[in-house]
Chains A and B, each alone.
Chain A
Amino acid sequence: MHESTKRFSYPYIVWISIIIVIPMILIFFYSVIESSNNQMAFRFTLENYQTVLEPLYLRVLWHSFIIAFSSTVICLIIGYPVAWIISRFSVKKQSTLLILFIMPMWINMLLRTYAWITILERNGVLNSFLALFNLGPLDLMYTDFAVILGMVYNFLPFMILPIYTAILKVDQSLIDAARDLGASDKKVFTRVMLPLTIPGIITGITMVFLPAMSTFVIPQLLGGGQYMMIGNLIERQFLLTGNWYLGSAFSMILMVFILISIWIMKKFDSDDVTQKGKGVFPK
C-alpha cells in the first residue's frame, strides 16, 4: 500500500480527539473544580474527592466491589465446569450447546434482567411455584441476592467463552502424556489443565468483573430504587441531583479502578502464562 494512504487516518485522529479525548479531559476537569454562582467562574479544589471519601460513599464503593467480586467468583465456579463439559462433547453438539449458552446475549440485556423480576417478585413465578408446596413466599426482589443473580445471569457467557476457547487450545496429547506418566485426575487438572487455561480464566474474570463493577441497570431494576452501587451513584449525580462535579469525581475513581484492574490482570496474565507456557511448549 502506498504511504500516502496514511492520510486516511487523519480525519479519524481529529474525530477521536474531539469525541474521546476532550470528553475524558472534561470529566477530569469537572472532578477538580468547584463552581460558584457565576457561570464562568470556577476554582480548583479537591473537595469533590474529599466528598467521595466520606463513609457513606466509601461504603457504596466497598459494596460495589463486594457485589462485583462475588458475581465474578460465582461466574468462575459455574463457568469453568460448564466450559469443560461443553468441550467434552462432539463438535456438532458443542456448537449447539455453545449457542444455547450464548443465545441470551442476543436478547436485549434489559429484557433479560426484566425477566428475572417476573421470576423473583412476590407474586412471581418462583413464589407461585413454592406456594404449590405450601412454601414461601420469599422476598427475593430488592436484595443483594437478586442483584448478584442478575449479574451472574447476564455476564456468565463472558466467563464461559474465553475459558472454553482456552480449553479447546489445550493439546489433548499433553493430558494423555500426564496420564501415561501416572498423574491422577486431580493432578492432571491442577498441573496441566489449570495452568494452560489461565489466560482464558483471566480474560473471563476481566470481562465479568469490569461490567459488574460499573453497571447501574441491574442494581436499579433488581435492587430497587434505593440500592446503591457506584454506577447508580454516578447516574444520580448526573441525572437527578445535577452535581456534575461529584459525578465526575466518582467517574474518575471508577476509571482509575478499572485501569488498575486491567493492568493487574495483564501483568498476572503475562507473568504466569509465558513462564508456564514456556515450560510446556519449548518453542
Chain B
Amino acid sequence: MTEEIVFEQEFPVKGGDFSRAGQVSCKIKNLLQELGLGTEIVLRAAIVSYEAEMNIIMYAWQGCLDLSVTPHRIRIVVKDSGPGIEDINLAMKEGYSTATLEMRELGFGAGMGLPNIKKNADEFWITSEAGRGTRLEMTILTNGQKP
C-alpha cells in the first residue's frame, strides 16, 4: 500500500547557476523544519539535498529535485539532463572528481558528493546514461516522527 503523501514539491535547478547554488536546499530544510521533523533527520536530508543540488549546478544542464514526505520517510528524487556518469563505481569513490578549477575555488568538487549522499541516506539508488543524464533517488526514514 502506498503511504499517504503529507507534502510534495518539485524544485527546478539550472545547471551552471552558481549564484543560486544552495537556495533550493535551504528551502527544503526550512520546509522540513516547519513539518516538525527532528534536527538529525532534517540535517541528513539537507546534506543529501545540497550535495545533489550542487551536482546539477556543477555538471548538468538542468534538473529538478522532487521532494515528498510521508509519515515514515522523506524521499528526494533528482533528475538531470546532462552528460551523465560513465563509470558510477568510479564516481562513488571518495576523492574522485571531474570538477573544474572554478568549482574548486568555491569550495566544492572534492569528490565527496555521491559518497556523502550514500552515507546520509537510508536508501540510495543511482542510474545514469552517458550523454543523457542522471537520476538519483534517496530515502531518509523518519522513524515515525511527525508528520
Same complex for A and B? Answer no
Chain B positions within 8 Å of A, measured between CB atoms, are: none
Where the two chains meet, the residues of A that have a C-beta atom closer than 8 Å to any C-beta of B are none
